Amino acid sequence: MKYVYAAHLAPEADGGFLVTFPDVPEAITQGDDRADALASAAEALGLALRGVLVDGESLPAPVASGGDLVPVAVDPETAMKLAVVEAFRAAGISKTELARRLGKAENEARRILDPDHGTRPALLAAALAALGKQVVVDVRDAA
């Protein structure tokens, strides 16, 4: 599960850039320069994707590519949270079962699955392992 989406950076008449995502229309932001726009884009993308999950919907597939599009990744903690929620939904198990697999109370499992609740990366990794997934770190050149 990679959470990298193509972004379009459009220069604005008064300076700066407007950033939009063809695959995630809810994610719109701007920045004073390219670096600022890309930093804001990663944050806006993460917020929009978490919002999709809060609404009970599936995440859109990152399919847009080419042209003047730039890849933007969500931050690692958000990527792990998105992966946990997606893996949990795909597993078709209850929150009680996830809690049992983790050796935690059910209210802890609910917090882990809440896209807006901050969860320690180690606990997210444990939840992914309990769901048969493994965290792999991928480092790439910046856009």
pLDDT band, residue 138 (cuts 50/70/90): confident
Please give the pLDDT value at position 40. 97
* CA gap 95, 109 in Å, rounded: 6
In the structure encoding, which two tokens stand for residue 123, read together?
A: 């606990």
Please give the pLDDT value at position 137. 86
pLDDT, tens digit, 9 for 90 and up, residues 92-131? 999 999 999 999 999 999 999 999 999 999 999 999 999 9
Please give the pLDDT value at position 61. 94
User: Taking the model in full, what pTM does it have?
Assistant: 0.91
* CA gap 18, 11 in Å, rounded: 6
* CA gap 53, 8 in Å, rounded: 23
In the structure encoding, which two tokens stand for residue 37, read together?
A: 């726009």
pLDDT, tens digit, 9 for 90 and up, residues 31-65? 999 999 999 999 999 999 999 999 999 999 999 88
Please give the pLDDT value at position 143. 67
Please give the pLDDT value at position 65. 86
Q: Is the pLDDT of residue 66 over 80?
A: yes
Alpha-carbon torsion angle 119, 138, 53, 108, nearest 10: -20
